[in-house]
Structure 1
Amino acid sequence: MKVHKKLDRKHLLRKAITIPIGALLSAIGLEIFLVPNHILDGGITGISIILAYVTHFPLGVFIGVLNLPFIIIGYKQIGKTFAFSTLYAIICLSIFTSIFIPIPQITTDPLLASVFGGVILGIGVGIVIRNGGSQDGTEILSILLNKKTPFSVGEIVMFVNVFILGSAGFVFDWNSTMYSLLAYFIAFKTIDITIEGLEQSKAVWIISDVHEEIGDALNNRLGRGVTYLNGQGAYSHDKKQVIFTIVTRLEEAKLKSIVEDIDPNAFLAVGDIHDVKGGNFKKRDIH
């Protein structure tokens, strides 16, 4: 029982520290790069940027107010842990965006602003998501609409964001729309990298008549454990041994080289894995 309490406290402490860091980076990306150059982000933040520009009220006010109804919905429909983490992240983001208002922009080049603003914003959002929160209510809305419509969460988010980013052309100019789409794409990809890590794991399936030789080579030359799975061809009904292993992205090329050297005709399939736990899997250096 004491161990669980210690783990819970450690987990909460990590959230309490890392979520503000993510919100701080998001605020830097917004207030120092994107907003001064009339470049929008997607979701509620994008709507908040437009309203702040039109009304001259602080961006943080709209981020807090517009997200509040979605946090309440999320509390009732998704869970209190997610809702509180999201509320904490949005409060931090609202405060930090207000703090950065007097700071002058670093660049007036919209291309540089789109790239650097998108990267910094993406890292910040990714950190918050990794710690169980969110900085935008449209994600909560998309999760709920997904249950009642044939569209996926990603499709709903994309539709909403294309509409919001497209509105930049009417509020600012059409160059702003194109730069906003660029910044959104960069931020989207950076979020993935932040959540999944640079050394994304790969699941590998290999079918070969010399499976034992390949398995031994992967053990000895790559330092990876392998598992033999019993397989059977659906057409030929031939019994086959399927080699299954997990490697890092950096080890993928070496694994393919090993298999190619031993059996050029081997069947090889590689897939992305977002999380690996348990067993003796550890990330290793490539030699």
Structure 2
Amino acid sequence: MAKHQHVKLSNLELAKRILFITIGATLMAVGLEIFLVPNNLIDGGIVGISIIVAHLTGLPLGAFLFLLNLPFLILGYKQIGKTFAMSTLYGVTVMSIGTFLLHPVAPLTEELFLAAIFGGVILGIGVGMVIRFGGSLDGTEIIAILVNKKSPFSVGEIVMFFNFFILASAGFIFGWNEAMYSLIAYYIAFKMIDVTIEGFDESKSVWIISEDAKEVGDAIMSRLGRGVTYLHGEGGFTGGTKKVIFCVITRLEEAKMKSIVHELDPSAFLAVGNIHDVKGGRFKKRDIH
């Protein structure tokens, strides 16, 4: 019985992954064919190269989206794993077919600024959704991982250089006006990917070192409704024992948290960091009466 339940849950997770990767890849196709491509705007990565090559050859964009991503999926198979590779292959296939089907559809706007904004938003949501559910729509990251092993540059630096080169190339092919609007679309998409992956209710970790740790911790629990954990540390310079407060809050609670700490101990050490995911424990907020 337990085994049957496990399989059922696995099938549910698989169906959920397929559904959201399909939606994300479809949104990517909409952003490309309804907003960016008809207005000669491009995205970064393999998608950007595909748009440029399709424009120069007059062949369908979907063919290049699939064919140019395929070699890097094969090359990076061992680095990224079977599940990620298959999810990415499925996402790229859906995106490619989507661009074929949407290509005859007229663009919603011919205003470059509007196309850059709405195209960037839709692209970012689509890509973020696919990444959130275990896939990808662009082989750029795989290229960066492979090059990173033989170069002193980080994956992020390689991706940035790669995209700068592609967006600069758009200036010579489509015109500098279109290239600058493409940069706007790329930036908006980049931000929307983060929002889609992390959500608007982004979590933050808080570390507090205070001489009045118990009082500060009690105030956080009673006034914010968040649980705290007390850790015991040792000062590097003094060698003295320190009590460290650790807790997880949302982005919207950060200002109130700082206010509480400053009110009770203005000299307290406070460090706040971003968290991409929170699971388990008692993160759910307790009601404040």
TM-score band w.r.t. shorter chain? over 0.9
In 2: Cα distance, 1:123 partner to 1:270 partner = 27
Alignment-derived partner of residue 13 in structure 2: 11
The answer for unaligned runs of 5 or more in structure 1 is: none
Q: Assess, with a 3 A threshold, how the Cα gap between structure 1 residues 7 and 212 changes in structure 2: closer, same or farther.
A: same
In 2: Cα distance, 1:148 partner to 1:44 partner = 21
So what's the TM-score if we normalise by structure 2? Answer: 0.95
What letter is aligned with 1:246? V
Of residues 140, 156, 160, the one that matches 1:158 is 160
Of residues 85, 88, 106, the one that matches 1:86 is 88
Superimposed CA distance per residue, residues 189-248 of structure 1 (whole angstroms, 9 cap, x where no aligned partner)? 111111111111111111111111111111111111111111222222222211111101
In 1: Cα distance, 2:81 partner to 2:210 partner = 47
Contact 1:44 1:63 in 2 (8 A): yes
Alignment-derived partner of residue 213 in structure 2: 211
Alignment-derived partner of residue 180 in structure 2: 178
Alpha-carbon offset, residue 144 of structure 1: 1.7
Alpha-carbon offset, residue 7 of structure 1: 2.3
Query: Identity over the aligned pairs, expressed in percent?
Result: 64
The answer for unaligned runs of 5 or more in structure 2 is: none
In 2: Cα distance, 1:284 partner to 1:121 partner = 37
In 2: Cα distance, 1:15 partner to 1:168 partner = 34
Q: Number of residue pairs matched?
A: 287
Contact 1:251 1:286 in 2 (8 A): no
In 2: Cα distance, 1:285 partner to 1:64 partner = 50
Contact 2:41 2:178 in 1 (8 A): yes
Alignment-derived partner of residue 106 in structure 1: 108
Alpha-carbon offset, residue 22 of structure 1: 0.1
Alpha-carbon offset, residue 77 of structure 1: 3.7
Please give the secondary structure, in 1, of the residue aligned with 2:76: helix
Alpha-carbon offset, residue 38 of structure 1: 0.8
Please give the secondary structure, in 1, of the residue aligned with 2:272: strand
Of residues 231, 244, 247, the one that matches 2:246 is 244
In 2: Cα distance, 1:68 partner to 1:204 partner = 42
In 2: Cα distance, 1:61 partner to 1:210 partner = 64
Please give the secondary structure, in 2, of the residue aligned with 1:167: helix
Alignment-derived partner of residue 262 in structure 2: 260
Contact 1:231 1:239 in 2 (8 A): yes
So what's the TM-score if we normalise by structure 1? Answer: 0.95
In 1: Cα distance, 2:280 partner to 2:78 partner = 33
What letter is aligned with 1:280? R
